[in-house]
Structure 1
Amino acid sequence: MFSRFVFGLGLLSATALVHHPAFAADARTLQIFVSKDKQSLAVYDGADVIATSKVSTGKAGHTTPSGIFSVLEKQKYHESNLYSAAPMPWMQRLTWSGIALHESNSVPRNPASHGCVRMPAAFAKQLYQMTSLSVPVIISDAEVAPEPVAHPNLFRPDLPEPPLLLSDAALRPAIGETGGEPVRLAMNSAVPPPVARAAVPENTNPIRILITRRTERETVINIQTYLNQLGFSAGAPDGLLGAATIQAINAFKALRSMQFKDDKALVSDTLLREIYAAAGKGEPPNGVIMVRQDFKPVFEAPITIGNPRQALGTHFFTLHAVDVENGRADWLGVTLKNNLSRQAMKRLGIVANESSIVTGGTPIADALDRITIPDGTRSRIDGMLAKGSTLTISDTGIGPETGAGTDFITITR
C-alpha cells in the first residue's frame, strides 16, 4: 500500500522518491518502466515501486521505440554521436543505435527528445547510482506494471530428491525362520539424521531467455546440419543460404523429385519435413528457445508452439527470488501490446492477433500453456537460474537491435 502511495505521489510531484534500503541490497531485482502516454518512469523492486519521475520521450518523427530493453552501457558524461555532440550526463544506453536514458535540462513532460528518454538532473543521477548493467527497461505505449505470476511452465530450480530414510524401507523376511514366522528387521523409532546434500553452486549472473518462433535462420541451420549428416555437403551450419547449401538442397530434392513436383520454393515446409524424416528426427519444431548471459549467446534449442496460427503476444518475466534448496522461483510478469503488422503476420503464418482466445484465460497463461519445452532443455535452464533472470515471449524473434554486447531486445512499436 505504501509503495503505491509513493508511486502516485511521485507522479503528482514529478520528483523522484527513492527508498534507499529497498534497492541497496541487490540491483539485479530492479526493473525500470517508462510509460509514453503518462510521460513517466517508475523503478520497481519486485512488485514495489521505489522511485518515480517525469520524463520526456521522443517527439514526432523521432519516436522512442516501445519494447523490452536493458542497460548496455553507463557513462557519467556522454556526448551524442548523432546530434551535434549534445551533452547526455548520467547516460544509460539501451540500444547501440542511439537510444538511452539520460539527464536533460529540458523535461517538459511531453514528447520532446530525438528518441532518448530525458530525465531531470537529480533523478538521472540517482537512477544511475541505483542500477547495474543489464537492468531491464520496459518502454510501453500505455502504463503497465509487473505482477506475480505462477505457472507450471515457468522455470524453477530442480528440487533435490529427498534422501531415503530407514523408515521408508520395506521390511524383508530374514533367511531363516523362527516358529514358522519370518524374522523381520527391527526398526529404530528414532529418526536418523538427515543425509547431507551436495552443495549446489550458486549462479550469481542472471540469464536472459527468449522464446519465439523459428525464423528462416534456425530453419536453414537445421537443414544444413541434417543434410551434412545425410551425406550432402551443405557447408557450415550458419543459417545462410550460400552456394554449397543451395546445391545440397537441390541435390536432395533431385533424389525425391515426386515429393517436390509442386514445390517451387527453395526452402519450404515440404523440404523441412522430408529432411527431418530422412534424418529420423520426427516432426520439425516451429519454435526456438535462446539463452544469453553477460550479453553473450549461451545456447539455443528447438521447442514447439501450440496453435501456431495464433499470435503468442509479447510477455516479459523477471525472476525476483530463487530458492535452490526448495526448488522455488518467484516470477513477475507483464504483457505488452502486440503490434504486429499485416506483413509480419503473413510472414509468420499468423491469422489471429489476439493471444487469449484459446482457453479464455489471461494472455500470459495462454501463451505459457501453448509452449512445450523438451525435458533436457528445461533441466539445463533450471540449473542456470539466478535472481534477476528474465524470460521474454515474443512472436517476432530476434530483431536487428539484438546483437553483440546486448541482451535480447524486443521492439513492439
Structure 2
Amino acid sequence: MFQRFALAFSLSLAASTALAAEGPLQIFVSKADQSLTVYDGDKVVATSKVSTGKPGHTTPSGIFSILEKRKYHESNLYSNAPMPFMQRLTWSGIALHEGKVPNHPASHGCVRLPNGFAKTLFQMTERGAHVIITDDPVVPKPVVHANLFTPRLPVDDGGLLSDVELRPGRVEAGLKPVEVAMNSVTPRSGAETKLTIEEPPPLRILITRRTQRDVAMDVQRLLNQLGFDSGVPDGLLGSRTIAAIKAFKDKNAIEKDPEILSKPFLVALYEQAGEDHPPMGQLMIRQKFQPLFSAPIDLKEPEKALGTHFLEATDVDRFKRKAVWRGVTLDDHLPASTQKRLGITIPADDPALFTAEAALSRIVMPDELRARIETMLSEGSSITISDTGLGSETGNGTDFITVTRARPKA
C-alpha cells in the first residue's frame, strides 16, 4: 500500500531518525511528548520532535489518515501562511507540515514537523496512511482474536459471497458488486498451476453502535415487508413513516409512548418480521475514501462501552489464510449525556478491562458478512471500533475519522 524504500539521514537539530520501511506505515503523534514515531509493523522506522496546537488551538486526538498531499500549500485559515510538505488529516484544517518546532506546543492545531524531516516523511507516505494522535504515547501491539478477519480466496467463479443483505454506503447509491480479480494460468502437461490475484485497495472498517437513522431504515424496511407502507427506506421519520408506525402500533395494541421508536414497538416489529431482535451494532466499510456498504451486526452486553480501538492488518497471505493484526487502544472519555443517549451504563474507564480483545469478543456478525469481507481483505486494511459512530469529521473524501476526548483533569 505504501512506498517501500531505504532511508539514511542524520538531523541532529531535529533529533530525528529513520530506517528502512517495508510495509504499511502507521504514524503516531504524542502531544504530551511532542514527538512523532513512524512504525512499520512493530518496527520503528522514523522519529522526530514536533510542535502541536497551543492552548486555545489544541490539536485534536484520534484516528486519522492522510487525505491529501501537497509539497507547497498556503493556509486557508491563517493569512495564507506557508505549509510546506503538507499532509492533510481533516478537511477542517488539521495537517502535518513543515514549520517551527520550538520544543513546546505552538501551532494553530496542525502538527508542525522540523525542516528536513517534513520532506522525508512526505516521501515516505502515501494517501491513506493512518495517523494516530494521542496525549500520552501509545505503541501498536499484536492482537490475536477469533473475531479478527482472515483473508480468503474468492469463490470459484471469481465473484463474491453475497447472501448477506448489505446496504449501500450512501442512501441514494445502488450497491455495486466488488470483486477480487483472479487470473489462472493453464499449465502445460506436468507443470504446476499458478494463480495470481490482483489485490483490492485496503478496506476501512468501522464497528460501532447503531444510530437512530440505522434503526429507522430497518423499521421502514420491516414495515413495508409486513404491509405497512412507510415509503422508501431512507432513515427519515417523515409523515408517511410515522403513519405506518402508528398503524402498526394500533393493530398490535402497543401502548402509547412519547418515543416513536419505543422498545416495545421495536421488539414487536422484529418478532413479527421473524428477525428475532433489533441488532445493536453497525459495521460500515469505506474504500479509497468512499463509502462501500454497511450491514447490521449485534453487540453482546450493549450496556457496556466498547471503548475506542484501532487495528491494522499486515503480512496478509490470502492463500495461507493468514494476516497479522496490530492495534492500540485510545483513551476516549464519553460525557454522561453521550453515555445516556447510547444506553451505556458501564463506561470504558479501566484500560485493563476494556481492551481491543474484550471489544472483539462482544461482536457478533453473520458468517456470510464475514466471508464477504474476507474475500476483499488486503494489506493495510484497518478496523476502528468506537461507541460514537462516524463523527463530524468523517465525510466526502475521507476515511473513518474518530476524534477522541481526554478525561477531564481533576
TM-score, normalised via structure 2 length: 0.83
**Deviation of 1:12 (Å):** 9.3
C-alpha contact 2:307 2:354 (8 A) present in aligned 1 = no
Could you tell me which residue of structure 2 aligns to residue 94 of structure 1? 89
The one of 377, 395, 399 aligned to 1:403? 395
1:218 aligns with 2:197: no
Could you tell me which residue of structure 2 aligns to residue 135 of structure 1? 129
Offset from partner CA, 1:37-69 (integer Å, 9 cap, x none): 001111111011111111111111111111000
The 1:235–1:196 alpha-carbon spacing in structure 2 relative to 1, beyond 3 Å, is farther
More deviation, 226-235/72-81: 226-235
**Deviation of 1:130 (Å):** 0.7
1:252 aligns with 2:248: yes
2:76 counterpart letter in structure 1 = N
The 1:194–1:116 alpha-carbon spacing in structure 2 relative to 1, beyond 3 Å, is farther
Offset from partner CA, 1:265-313 (integer Å, 9 cap, x none): 1122222222212222111100011111111111111111111111111
Could you tell me which residue of structure 2 aligns to residue 69 of structure 1? 64
Offset from partner CA, 1:336-378 (integer Å, 9 cap, x none): 0121111111111111113769xx7661211111111110110
User: What is the total number of aligned residue pairs between the two structures?
Assistant: 363
**Deviation of 1:410 (Å):** 0.5
Question: Could you list the runs of 5+ residues in structure 1 that have no partner in the other structure?
Answer: 1-9, 162-192
Q: Percent identity?
A: 56
Matched residue SS, 2:197: coil
C-alpha contact 2:306 2:354 (8 A) present in aligned 1 = no
Could you tell me which residue of structure 1 aligns to residue 148 of structure 2? 154
**Deviation of 1:330 (Å):** 0.5
The 1:195–1:347 alpha-carbon spacing in structure 2 relative to 1, beyond 3 Å, is farther
Could you tell me which residue of structure 1 aligns to residue 179 of structure 2? none
**Deviation of 1:78 (Å):** 1.1
1:222 counterpart letter in structure 2 = D
What is the distance in 2 between the residues matched to 1:81 and 1:213?
35
C-alpha contact 2:14 2:114 (8 A) present in aligned 1 = no
What are the residue-to-residue correspondences of 1:279-318 with 2, within 5 Å? 279-318=273-312
Structure showing greater radius of gyration is: 1
The 1:11–1:239 alpha-carbon spacing in structure 2 relative to 1, beyond 3 Å, is farther
What is the distance in 2 between the residues matched to 1:349 and 1:160?
39
What is the distance in 2 between the residues matched to 1:369 and 1:12?
46
The 1:11–1:411 alpha-carbon spacing in structure 2 relative to 1, beyond 3 Å, is farther
What is the distance in 2 between the residues matched to 1:214 and 1:369?
18
Offset from partner CA, 1:369-393 (integer Å, 9 cap, x none): 1111110110011111100000011
Could you tell me which residue of structure 2 aligns to residue 183 of structure 1? none
The 1:215–1:156 alpha-carbon spacing in structure 2 relative to 1, beyond 3 Å, is same
What are the residue-to-residue correspondences of 1:247-396 with 2, within 5 Å? 247-256=243-252, 258-261=253-256, 263-354=257-348, 363-396=355-388
What is the distance in 2 between the residues matched to 1:381 and 1:63?
37
What is the distance in 2 between the residues matched to 1:396 and 1:313?
9
Offset from partner CA, 1:222-266 (integer Å, 9 cap, x none): 11111122222222222222222222222222222x3223x2211
1:51 aligns with 2:43: no
C-alpha contact 1:41 1:54 (8 A) present in aligned 2 = yes
C-alpha contact 1:220 1:240 (8 A) present in aligned 2 = yes
Please report the RMSD computed on the Cα atoms of aligned residues, expressed in angstroms: 2.4
The 1:78–1:300 alpha-carbon spacing in structure 2 relative to 1, beyond 3 Å, is same
1:237 aligns with 2:233: yes
Question: Could you list the runs of 5+ residues in structure 2 that have no partner in the other structure?
Answer: 1-9, 156-188, 406-410
The 1:275–1:266 alpha-carbon spacing in structure 2 relative to 1, beyond 3 Å, is same
Offset from partner CA, 1:147-189 (integer Å, 9 cap, x none): 111111100023799xxxxxxxxxxxxxxxxxxxxxxxxxxxx
C-alpha contact 1:204 1:387 (8 A) present in aligned 2 = no
**Deviation of 1:93 (Å):** 0.7
Could you tell me which residue of structure 2 aligns to residue 7 of structure 1? none
What are the residue-to-residue correspondences of 1:155-234 with 2, within 5 Å? 155-158=149-152, 199=195, 201-234=197-230
TM-score, normalised via structure 1 length: 0.83
1:389 counterpart letter in structure 2 = S
**Deviation of 1:120 (Å):** 1.0
What is the distance in 2 between the residues matched to 1:61 and 1:236?
45
**Bigger helix share:** 1
1:151 counterpart letter in structure 2 = H
